Structure 1
Amino acid sequence: MEHPVTSDRPAASDAAIVFVADGDYAAFALHAAAQIAALHSARDFDICLCGTVPPAPLPDSLSHLGIRLCGIATGGRFDGLRLDEGRTDIVYLRLALPEAFARDYRRVLYLDADIFVERGDFAALLRADLHGHALAAVRDNSQWRTPNRRPEQFRRLGLPAAPYFNAGVMLMDLPAWRAAAITDRAVSLGEANRERMIRHDQNLLNAVLQGDWAELHPAWNWQYTRASNLLSEMVGPNLLHFIGPEKPWSHKGGRLPLRFHDAFARFTAAHFGRSPDAAGIAPSKNRDWLRKSLWKQTLSVGRMCDYLDRFDGDLDILGGAAR
């Protein structure tokens, strides 16, 4: 099924980094886009911001980034899929990317908006060998220390345990994706099991692929939680991903380092004339929470080292997650 694209400029490369966001999340996505652009001053890939309608024009202060703004029509394709209260079908828009950009891109690196970029060779990642797979991703943090854990969604669908990825960072080979009809299969599964589904397309894709995907080093999607925050300072991830409800621009619990909030505040103030609410943002003094975080990571050091030792470096992609 085609998904017509309206954009402010043509594609300039055969590869792109793509964000899907609207509302305030579009500004946060642009923060990550600006960080990537700063790392690649002469990049050979596009950076796109997509929505179900074309995003608003960028402020003049961001025009130098050359970001491609795209509206992708869904045509009601995802109407039969489960939605959490207050969500719209934009949560499924990344499923449309391989078809929407069929004429534009061979490779797409999809990134969630709640990403903070530290470093990384994105050009090399976009051209990495996926060993015949249509998708490369990072394991969900629920399997970092317990790789054989059976995801709850698999249990509900009667599926066996299998490697399970976090869909906040996905490297897509678009021709291979379309050849395997992954989007059609995911939508069909979601429609047939609407009452048994939890969350959104992450579970659909994992259920359809069942481990048939290439595995990226966790540096490309370091899921920032109580079980990984301190270890991140030693590992030095490329991308920090603020999964769950605690976001640097809004969380008031003091559990995230202030540098993240300050970075977002400076960016939105400079380019959008506003800053995230700073009321209540402060270093954590919750001693019990800090002790539990430190203790949890201390206990898991061995298993985390085993996980990291599977990779020779951040651009090492394991050929089959099911292995």
Structure 2
Amino acid sequence: MTIKVNANRPATHRKAIIFCCDNGYLPYAALAAEQILHSTPTHDFDICIAFNERPVTIPESLAHLGIRLLKVDIGTMFEGLRLDAGKSHDVYLRLALPQALADDYERILYMDSDIYVQGGDFSALMAADLGDRPLGAVRDNIQWRSPGRRATQFKRLGLPAAPYFNAGVLLMDVANYIASGLLEACLDLGRREAPRMIRHDQNLYNSVLQGNWAELSPFWNWQYSWAARFFCDVQGPNVIHFIGNSKPWKDKDGQFPPRFRQHYSRFIRTHFPEHGDCHIPEAQLPPDGARMRKMLIKHLLSSKAIARYLARFPTDLTVIK
């Protein structure tokens, strides 16, 4: 497999935080990059944005962030893998990052663009001991309360229950990733089982690894859902991940705290004025509404299970191997 990489500048460090996005999601990735640098001002990593089919352009007003742009040409590598309607094969690009950038980086922290960074020492995270695992990740929220729950994709492939992670934040050990043949195994499974696969690379990763990954604290990928958002405000995780179709920049129902929308709006107006402002809901979620009552009840009933899950991580840098 031949992968070609063209960069706007050489690598500066041996570690990198990488977002994969197009211009549509560039404002959100750029805000996350700014937040990361604010959180870890003395850092030993590059911040990169990788793309393939849909190039991106960093505005001059954000030149101070020093973002490294990477055009990763994977040719036909992802042909035969299933795609959701309206998606390009760029949704699989993170699979190829270790092979594409092995000459530049020893560690890669891949991050989705729909994240919001509140703090954390990213240099310390990227130096975490993963043992001989190819990657570290945070358990998917379907297993926060029920760790033995069997993921739907495992059922469809006839695989047993195993720890299942969310692929929105992935700490990749480049040497172990390549040595394990993870990319090749994911491509083989994805083509062979395309009719039975759900969504994209998250299920490929989990189905191939079947628990062979290092578990990171949820503070690095707090999946912001109706069932855990109040716990989020109390716990104060480092990284909030806006999973699903609902996002704070298109919040029609007023279900997100206004602080998110206001921050995104200020950033976009300053650096991406042509992008269009965030949607402003007519009203915030009413305190006495059915959805609010449902969330409150869910939090009450799941509080002990969430406490057990969080207790497995004494610090945000605890890694379970």
TM-score (norm 2): 0.97
1:118-167 CA distance string (max 9 Å, x none): 00000000111002111100000000000000001000000000000000
Separation in 2 of the partners of 1:296 and 1:57? 42
1:262-286 CA distance string (max 9 Å, x none): 1111111000114424342531127
Q: Give, as a single letter, the amino acid of the residue that structure 1 aligns with 2:297.
A: W
Separation in 2 of the partners of 1:224 and 1:149? 19
SS in 1 for 2:170: strand
Asked if 1:106 corresponds to 2:111, the answer is no
Q: 1:300 matched to which residue of 2?
A: 302
Q: Give, as a single letter, the amino acid of the residue that structure 1 aligns with 2:125.
A: L
Separation in 2 of the partners of 1:280 and 1:36? 28
1:170-218 CA distance string (max 9 Å, x none): 0000110000010100000010000000110000000000000000000
Q: 1:183 matched to which residue of 2?
A: 183
Q: Which runs of 5+ in 1 are unaligned?
A: none
CA contact (8 A) 2:18 2:48 kept: yes
Q: Give, as a single letter, the amino acid of the residue that structure 1 aligns with 2:94.
A: R
Alignment of 1:76-87 (within 5 A): 76-87=76-87
| Aligned-residue offset at 1:74 | 1.3
Q: Which stretch of the first structure deviates more once superposed, 36-45 or 241-250?
A: 36-45
Alignment of 1:131-280 (within 5 A): 131-274=131-274, 275-280=276-281
1:269-313 CA distance string (max 9 Å, x none): 000114424342531127100010011011101000000111110
SS in 1 for 2:116: strand
Q: 2:128 matched to which residue of 1?
A: 128
SS in 2 for 1:283: coil
Separation in 2 of the partners of 1:44 and 1:53? 29
CA contact (8 A) 1:251 1:281 kept: no
Q: Which runs of 5+ in 2 are unaligned?
A: none
Separation in 2 of the partners of 1:89 and 1:53? 8
Q: Which stretch of the first structure deviates more once superposed, 53-62 or 68-77?
A: 53-62
Q: 1:46 matched to which residue of 2?
A: 46
CA contact (8 A) 1:54 1:72 kept: no
Separation in 2 of the partners of 1:177 and 1:95? 10
CA contact (8 A) 1:49 1:55 kept: no
| Aligned-residue offset at 1:54 | 7.6
SS in 1 for 2:319: coil
Q: Give, as a single letter, the amino acid of the residue that structure 2 aligns with 1:173.
A: D
| Aligned-residue offset at 1:56 | 3.4
Aligned Cα RMSD in Å? 1.2
Separation in 1 of the partners of 2:138 and 2:278? 32
CA contact (8 A) 2:264 2:278 kept: no
Separation in 2 of the partners of 1:96 and 1:78? 10
SS in 2 for 1:211: coil
1:94-121 CA distance string (max 9 Å, x none): 0010111010000000000000000000
Separation in 2 of the partners of 1:57 and 1:279? 27
Separation in 2 of the partners of 1:86 and 1:54? 13
CA contact (8 A) 2:26 2:56 kept: no
Separation in 2 of the partners of 1:279 and 1:256? 11
CA contact (8 A) 2:162 2:211 kept: yes
Q: Give, as a single letter, the amino acid of the residue that structure 1 aligns with 2:135.
A: L
Q: Which stretch of the first structure deviates more once superposed, 216-225 or 37-46?
A: 37-46
Separation in 2 of the partners of 1:194 and 1:174? 26
Distance 1:32 1:264, change over 3 A: same
Q: 1:2 matched to which residue of 2?
A: 2
| Aligned-residue offset at 1:2 | 3.2
SS in 1 for 2:97: helix
Q: Give, as a single letter, the amino acid of the residue that structure 1 aligns with 2:147.
A: P
SS in 2 for 1:249: coil
CA contact (8 A) 1:165 1:206 kept: yes
Q: Give, as a single letter, the amino acid of the residue that structure 1 aligns with 2:88.
A: T
SS in 2 for 1:300: helix
CA contact (8 A) 2:23 2:55 kept: no
| Aligned-residue offset at 1:235 | 1.1
Asked if 1:26 corresponds to 2:26, the answer is yes
| Aligned-residue offset at 1:53 | 4.9
Separation in 2 of the partners of 1:176 and 1:134? 5
